[in-house]
Amino acid sequence: MEIRNTICKLFNIKYPIIQAGMVWCSGWKLASAVSNAGGLGIIGAGSMYPEVLQMHIRKCRVATEKPFGVNIPLLYPNIQEIIDVVIEEDVKIVFSSAGNPATWTGILKETGITVVHVIANTKFALKAQEAGVDAIVAEGFEAGGHNGREETTTMCLIPIVKAAVNIPIIAAGGIASGKSMLAAFALGADAVQIGSAFAVAEESSAHPAFKNKIISSAEGDTKLAMKKLVPVRLLKNEFADAVAQAEAEGADRTQLIALLGKARAKLGMFEGDLENGELEIGQVSAMLQEIKPAKQILEEIWQDYRTGLKRFRDLHDETK
């Protein structure tokens, strides 16, 4: 059971399923596990110093012979050093996000790297296409972590972006099952990028307490916060409540920056402080019930997708 779609060909992978690069979750262990299972694993450079990223790339290469990528938030302070590491270490696939794709795409493409840029609105989808990226990730409002200001949901974003660009689209936000993967394909996506479901994988470097909080969370337990800075979706806790309170009272950027402080995401996601940390996760956390190996997560999604596809084939034939 193999599918040869555009994105599978672009990355030379078996399944059109990409594991999102996530701060404090997706190091070499998770990325290599996903790649070994037939998806595309991605090392999230956003929480790594350049030398730490270098170590993760090297360990990933030892752990898998399959293709893998690196996600680089372009607003990263040492961005030049991170780009240098990626080029020196001969990384073949880069997913860039949170910044202007015009700045780095050309440089990466010149060295032969396949480049994908993450967008949350049509304007940046067009900018990314113009910059020459090979594909885009279109990420909806329901996604965990940093998010778009327009709040466009996956259901609306995918068809709107599809109508605007002519490069392949990887849907992200709200996707954690084969059913939602099939929905993304119905909307016009060529592949899916999955974050939250892999954040709770056994191989994720997230703190066990954070993983347990994710799998015990319910619908309505996440919130888009910090809209006056960079919007971020996180689990509600003492920190998120304090932010919500400050925002309701009209806190400005300076006050929010002070409230955020430093290393909040590390504190919550990596060190397991569930009340004072920033716990970035998507709305689909409500659907996650179990900590499982990445391979099992990927294969269950694929089987669920195939079941849905078969149901649709039967529905088509029934209603001719």
Contact 198, 285 (CB under 8 A): no
Pick the binder of a second copy from 150, 202, 271, 300 (CB under 8 A): 150
* Residue 248 binds a second copy (CB under 8 A): yes
Q: Which residue has the tokens 């940390």?
A: 277
Q: Which of 44, 118, 31, 65 is nearest to 298 (CA)?
A: 31
Structure tokens at 110: 């010149």
Question: How many residues of this chain interact with a second copy, rule: CB under 8 A?
Answer: 58
Structure tokens at 128: 């990314």
Nearer to a second copy, 138 or 294 (CB): 138
* Residue 237 binds a second copy (CB under 8 A): no
Nearer to a second copy, 110 or 317 (CB): 317
Distance (Å) of CA 304 to CA 64, 194, 296:
26, 15, 12
Q: Is 94 helix (H, G, I), strand (E, B) or coil?
A: strand
Smallest separation (angstroms) from a second copy to the CB of 29: 28
Smallest separation (angstroms) from a second copy to the CB of 145: 15
* Residue 155 binds a second copy (CB under 8 A): yes
* Residue 214 binds a second copy (CB under 8 A): no
* Residue 63 binds a second copy (CB under 8 A): no
Nearer to a second copy, 62 or 218 (CB): 218
Strands 169-172 and 145-146: unpaired
* Residue 151 binds a second copy (CB under 8 A): yes
* Residue 9 binds a second copy (CB under 8 A): no
- What is the spatial distance between Cα 27 and Cα 57, in angstroms, rounded to a whole number? 9
* Residue 180 binds a second copy (CB under 8 A): yes
Smallest separation (angstroms) from a second copy to the CB of 260: 18
Q: Which of 136, 108, 109 is nearest to 124 (CA)?
A: 136
Contact 274, 210 (CB under 8 A): yes
How many angstroms from the chain centroid is the CA of residue 279?
Answer: 15
Q: Read off the DSSP letter of residue 124.
A: H
Pick the binder of a second copy from 17, 18, 243, 284 (CB under 8 A): 284
Pick the binder of a second copy from 219, 238, 241, 275 (CB under 8 A): 219
* Residue 309 binds a second copy (CB under 8 A): yes
- What is the spatial distance between Cα 128 and Cα 95, in angstroms, rounded to a whole number? 12
Q: Which residue has the tokens 């994105």?
A: 7
By the criterion CB under 8 A, which residues form the site for a second copy?
1-3, 121-122, 140-142, 149-157, 159-160, 163, 173-175, 177, 179-180, 182-188, 218-220, 223-224, 228, 248-251, 283-284, 286-287, 306, 308-310, 312-313, 315-317, 319-320
